[in-house]
Structure 1
């Protein structure tokens, strides 16, 4: 969802919902951003080449888009009822799918009136919180297990008006505060212009979201969108920066985007810049490697520190063990990209954990009988380096291979 509708140079609600705004409102778009746009005769959509003359975020300021969000949030013309019915149908369809992590109720919800941007949190408090509660209730009628993700208004960058998750404290194990982080100072390719500015921007946004969610007891939280950058050195540095911060705050994350699917509102140029693939379908391996980080998937205790250094591929996890938890601590590592010659695992205190790997890239660590509850345990994984003999032997094998060719 960006910019509500294709009628407004974006994506989102079906046409019949946008048409409920009335013919005059639809045709007035893109006022006041631009006086008018040529429309396709068969669909009535603004022509795409004209849409692309303006950054898509400007269209959020048009009267048509503002009225569209107001109609949704306030159930004008039964729009919120239709949205709730949609979500109940989706949840009913996917309720028993273990491959589904959860449902994000609305991506980057925008403002319904420009005046309400002035008071931080008003849109969240007045419009989004009641809407999210309604959507939560209809989803939970058919699916009481999957995570529901809820996101604040895009205008509330530093503090939201939300006071709790849509299901209240009883659902804190099945709801998650969703947020996005993008550096504000970037090129047309989405790459940072200044490391200093992006350092400050990224750290501030993530820390503020974390502190608010912790204070208000939102339940879980997840960085559900970041990235949208090129395969360049500067782009990769930004990926390292944000994923490193995510580790510091023990945040799950998802990168935007996997692949370009003809979305109209991709900000970078060329449009494939943001994805893992070039125009000819080749993987952009700098991005892939930057995002292939070692991390703990499950921890038998309370984590206190997690760190992955992307250049050396050194990983460390510190946690206070809870021996009442019988399931193992699970760590994922990408062996092909980060540990091609194997790895070395060090555990402190010695003999506090045993480990096995029955599936490639996954390692399970279990406590021993001598491990005391509350012990601070450190797991460190580093790449195994080849000694001079193995390096020479591999070099000779490569030479022999080419000679035989």
Structure 2
């Protein structure tokens, strides 16, 4: 079904706080139980008092879990020990994790609708002391683990992209020196990172535009410069958002997606639907997802994320910009005439160009364009276009002329008068 609709899936081993035994989600129960009964039952020491457990599962009761922000539970001894056990192969845990990933890769190796495999979401610290020295968790634990996972995946799938993420505590500089496959796999591996403003309300919305402007720009630029310097391969902003449908939330979406365009970054928003996510259950479902409690789409978010962008570029891009208020889009690139495939630009005609659009190309006659499918435009070089030419494509909304605006206004008035 996804393949038929042109939808790609990033298979993400998603965890938050390691296990349901620790007010989170992630590893199977039998993995957490390898920590031992004493460690499991000691949770949430030393962050909070002991919690009441459900008699049939042994899980902490959800209403008690939700009394504290979920990220605090990363500091409990049980969660710290859980990550240490995984990273160091305690009780064969890493071997089991590798077997899991090999099974997943073997299952999806030939699926064109799979973008790739993200090895572990937001890996955390195994010891509090290792938060102090930035990059230690990456160097000592994650890099060897990622290499092992890469090796077992590549035994059954040598084509899909492997996404690797630094320790969640390494906000500004990681300890990773290369991708898990080394430089030979830079066309099939990607550095994954997340961006969230640090100064937000309980709904995830920015308190201060100034602080979030600085914070978002700093995080994305630092990640970009590090990946470029260390030659990580590709990179992708695999998580951001988690905001409400408010004006401030939408401004944050505009801010981050604009920065992503500036650095030519692909991105994915968190989250599509709540899906009973434990670690965000303290918030209303509308806080992070596209849907209200009644199942209605939150169109402010949808429109904010429905941006014009280039899906393929026949050359080297130098500038891409979408202004969400006016729906003005611009792409500048140095054309490579040896590339015979077209430059492809996606626009959302219903949301951003309801009355049509105007396309301007500079230099004039350097490109021709066609649109055989709604929302998609293909641009191809002409015989007169010289290799290395700097080309600009600009798309703006077509505005209604005075007569049409007046006629539409009259029709609306007549409709309401008749009501």
8 Å Cα contact 1:228-1:268 kept in structure 2? no
User: How much does 1:400 deviate?
Assistant: 5.5
Tell me how far apart the structure 1 counterparts of residues 415 and 374 of structure 2 sit (CA, whole Å).
28
Check whether the contact 1:55–1:267 (CA below 8 A) recurs between aligned residues.
no
Counterparts of 1:400 and 1:52, CA distance in 2 = 53
Contact 1:121 1:156 in 2 (8 A): yes
Distance 1:148 1:238 in 2: 29
Distance in 2 (CA, whole Å) between partners of 1:220 and 1:8 is 34
Q: Shift of residue 394 of structure 1?
A: 2.7
- Is the CA contact (8 Å cut-off) linking 2:66 and 2:282 kept in structure 1? no
Report the alpha carbon displacement of residue 402 of structure 1 after superposing the two structures with TM: 5.8
CA distance in 2, matches of 1:267, 1:123: 29
Write out per-residue CA displacement over residues 343-399 of structure 1, whole angstroms, 9 at most, x where no aligned residue.
000000000000000000000000000000000000000000000112223334445
Question: 1:142 & 1:95 partners in 2: Cα distance?
Answer: 7
CA–CA separation in structure 2 for the residues paired with 1:280 and 1:38:
32
Shift of the alpha carbon at 1:92?
1.1
> Which runs of 4 or more aligned residues in structure 1 lie more than 2 Å from their structure 2 counterparts after TM superposition?
392-405
Provide Cα deviations, 1:252-288, integer angstroms capped at 9, x if missing partner.
Answer: 0000000101011017622431100000011111100
**Structure 1 contact 315–380 (Cα < 8 Å) conserved:** yes
Is the Cα–Cα contact under 8 Å of residues 82 and 126 in structure 2 kept in the other structure?
yes
Q: Decide whether aligned partners of structure 1 residues 108 and 242 sit closer, same or farther in structure 2, where only a CA change above 3 A counts.
A: same
SS of 1:244's equivalent in the other structure is helix
Deviations 1:91-142 (A, max 9, x none): 1111111111111000000000011111110100010001001111111111
C-alpha separation in 2, matches of 1:86 and 1:286: 39
Per-residue displacement from partner, 1:156-184 (whole Å, max 9, x unpaired)?
00000000001111111111000000000
* Paired residues of 2:205 and 2:248 also in contact (CA < 8 A): yes
Alpha-carbon distance in structure 2 between the residues aligned to 1:15 and 1:267: 20
1:5-40 Cα distance to aligned partner (Å, 9 max, x none): 000000000000000000111011111012311100
In the alignment, the residues of structure 2 paired with residue 232 and residue 400 of structure 1 have an alpha-carbon distance, to the nearest angstrom, of: 33
Give CA deviations for 1:49-77 in whole Å, capped at 9, x if unaligned: 11011110010001100000000001111
Structure 1, residues 322-361: CA drift from partner, whole Å, max 9, x if none? Answer: 0000000000000000000000000000000000000000
Which segment drifts farther, 84-93 or 311-320? 84-93
User: CA 1:212–1:268 in 2, change beyond 3 Å: closer, same or farther?
Assistant: farther
- Native 8 Å contact 1:164 1:216 kept in 2: yes
The answer to whether the Cα contact below 8 Å between 1:314 and 1:383 also exists between their aligned partners in 2 is yes
Distance 2:180 2:347 in 1: 35
Please report the RMSD computed on the Cα atoms of aligned residues, expressed in angstroms: 1.2
Whether 2:107 is the aligned partner of 1:93: answer: yes
Alpha-carbon contact 1:268-1:274 (below 8 Å) kept: no
The normalised TM-score by structure 2 is 0.95
Alignment partners' CA distance in 2, 1:51 and 1:63: 16
Report how far residue 79 of structure 1 moved. 0.4
Q: Is the 8 A contact 1:18 1:68 kept in 2?
A: yes
Residues 258-267 or 131-140, more deviating: 258-267
SS at match of 2:280: coil
Distance in 1, matches of 2:281 and 2:384, equals: 56
SS at match of 1:64: helix
* CA–CA distance in structure 2, aligned partners of residues 239 and 399 of structure 1: 35
CA distance in 2, matches of 1:8, 1:57: 11
SS in 1 for 2:55: coil
The worse-fitting range, judged by mean Cα deviation, of 270-279 and 9-18 is 270-279
Q: Which residue of 2 aligns with 1:389?
A: 403
Give yes or no for contact 2:66–2:281 (8 Å, CA) kept in 1. Answer: no
